[in-house]
Structure 1
């Protein structure tokens, strides 16, 4: 019957952190994600697994759907698991690779730090996205390099670094 206040506080912070990616993305679009298509790279909780239990991608996708957005996602291992969890949905496209996931998307959110996501041609990526927005949940990229390619970049724990240009 002991009230473990510290554990409760830790749990509250962890739950709030799960909303960080959605909040940053929503802010980039002035709170209006309805009708937007968001590319998601990485569905698993961590690389080299298909485990999606407590994965940031789940919190993000569910918030996007509630906001009226569509998701185009890719993960090297967790595609089958994602389909098992969410089934067939009109607002979820599981792409064959990272390139297909970003085609026609409004923005990109990175949820898992797979090796294949570390190397990106940012000029190419800017051309693929309707809005030049990246929300990087794993801080994979150098802010200046991304900005130099004309993209808006939002990392986690780095503050909001806009940069880029709008179309």
Structure 2
């Protein structure tokens, strides 16, 4: 059953009780990475293996996302500043223990490529926060694999 979460703004990315931050450099330019994140929402399921469905909602102001294992999110886009940042918060989810959740993708030029920094900001019950802390390594691996897959997808021979 979906539950409404506490609405948070972009500042939550920096002030959340739990912040997990991961970064990786890819060869694709920031503009291409931003387009994949913010404009090709359905494409997420092709490069982010945990995502089984992603589609825009609310005329692009929101998203609907489904993950492997049956977790569902209804999200609101908080920031879409091309090509630097894309952030969203979760408004509804069926995941237990979550009180507030937001994610930010920060893109910085790095040589001819892009440094991609993903911040996962959360508030929730003690068991939920502990599970996230314990799952940090796995979440980091998922991020690394997703961004590597995205970079392959954005390679000039695939565009």
TM-score, normalized by length of structure 2?
0.27
Relative contact order, CA 8 A, sep 6+: which one is greater? 2
Higher strand share: 2
TM-score, normalized by length of structure 1?
0.26
Give the structure with higher Rg (CA).
Answer: 1
